[in-house]
């Protein structure tokens, strides 16, 4: 049997596992509610124990994460408000349970990698995938690799221009107040207007403001990272007209500079919707596994065993 890889997406609510090599070859998949960390790792290990052994397993995890390969706490979840998960050694725990090489990145970076390899970013080397939902997250794939740098991109906490005269809303970020996600995430829309975003009419002023804020942050990312393509998804983008409204504002704010038609008349090819849907995270985890070196396994000869 040819080589297969494992992918795990640990989300705040759901955990997804899959075995395969890409969107056209998934041999098995399973989804369950994310529970306490030890129990979640045990259920992931049970899934892989019931199927052919993968050559490596990739994880796309909610963060923040320690992704520094030289750090003694590499692969740990760092300070998260999710009960029980702060400091949890997710990648080392799974590596020890499965005895295969394990790679890890953020869930949004995993989704970015999958979209760049197989989805809306195919053919573009440097891609930013932005999700706007309960927060704002960005995954940045540069020349086909997820970018980390100092920590990992935390684009939701960009500072964007905030005209308090026009929009006196203080923002919902517990750290910064009116950072980008403090102003433009789903919870920010709900708090500002007193109603969930999905219940607001298409002509509600919330949408013009949202398009403006999203375009301001996207222009900052474009100006610094210069991605070949921007992918814009997440629950707030379920509003069909919003993507076009953001394109219009992004083109206007760029005002012809940088001088490329992709920020002008061809902006519809540049700022695009995702293509892989809810599977992007777990597919990206498989892509992470495919680029995980074999040397990261601590005990490659031991059989896989569930953690209890």
* Binding site residues, Zn ion, CB under 5 A: 157, 173, 175-176, 179
Residue closer to Zn ion (CB basis): 152 or 279 = 152
How would DSSP label each residue in 99-142?
A: TS-EEEEEHHHHHHHHHHHHSTTTT-SSEEEEEESSSEEEEEEE
How would DSSP label each residue in 134-175?
A: SSEEEEEEETTEE--TTS---GGG------TTT------BTT
Distance CA 193, CA 88 (A): 37
Least distance (Å) between residue 136 CB and Zn ion: 9
Residue closer to Zn ion (CB basis): 20 or 171 = 171
Residue closer to Zn ion (CB basis): 82 or 176 = 176
Least distance (Å) between residue 63 CB and Zn ion: 14
> Minimal CA–CA distance to 268: which of 219, 221, 229?
229
Least distance (Å) between residue 133 CB and Zn ion: 15
Residue closer to Zn ion (CB basis): 19 or 179 = 179
Least distance (Å) between residue 187 CB and Zn ion: 12
Strands 127-132 and 136-142: antiparallel
Task: Please state whether the peptide bond connecting residue 66 to the residue before it is cis, i.e. omega within 30 degrees of 0.
Answer: no
Length in residues, the chain: 308
Least distance (Å) between residue 130 CB and Zn ion: 15
Residue closer to Zn ion (CB basis): 6 or 156 = 156
């Amino acid at each position: 049997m040819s080589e297969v890889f494992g992918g795990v997406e640990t989300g705040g609510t759901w955990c997804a596992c899959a075995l395969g090599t890409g969107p056209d070859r998934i041999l098995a998949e399973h989804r369950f509610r994310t529970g306490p960390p030890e129990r979640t790792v045990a259920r992931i290990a049970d899934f892989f124990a019931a199927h052919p052994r993968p050559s490596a397993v990739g994880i796309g995890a909610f963060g923040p994460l320690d992704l520094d390969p030289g750090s003694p706490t590499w692969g740990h979840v760092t300070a998260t408000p999710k009960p029980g998960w702060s400091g949890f050694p997710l990648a080392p725990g799974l590596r020890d349970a499965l005895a295969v090489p394990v790679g890890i990145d953020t869930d949004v970076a995993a989704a970015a990698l999958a979209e760049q390899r197989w989805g809306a970013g195919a053919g573009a080397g440097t891609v930013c995938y932005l999700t706007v939902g309960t927060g704002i997250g960005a995954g940045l794939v540069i020349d086909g690799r997820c970018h980390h740098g100092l920590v990992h991109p935390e684009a939701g906490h960009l500072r964007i221009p905030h005209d308090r005269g026009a929009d006196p809303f203080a923002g919902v970020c517990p750290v910064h107040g009116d950072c980008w996600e403090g102003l433009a995430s789903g919870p920010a829309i709900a708090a500002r207007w007193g109603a969930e975003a999905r219940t607001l009419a298409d002509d509600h002023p919330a949408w013009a403001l949202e398009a403006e804020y999203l375009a301001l942050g996207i222009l900052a990312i474009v100006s610094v990272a210069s991605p070949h393509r921007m992918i814009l998804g997440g629950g707030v983008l379920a509003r069909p007209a919003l993507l076009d409204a953001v394109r219009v504002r992004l083109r206007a704010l760029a005002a012809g500079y940088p001088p490329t038609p992709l920020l002008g008349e061809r902006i519809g090819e540049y700022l695009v919707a995702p293509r892989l849907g809810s599977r992007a995270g777990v597919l990206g985890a498989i892509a992470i596994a495919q680029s995980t070196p074999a040397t990261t396994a601590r005990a490659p000869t031991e059989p896989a065993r569930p953690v209890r």
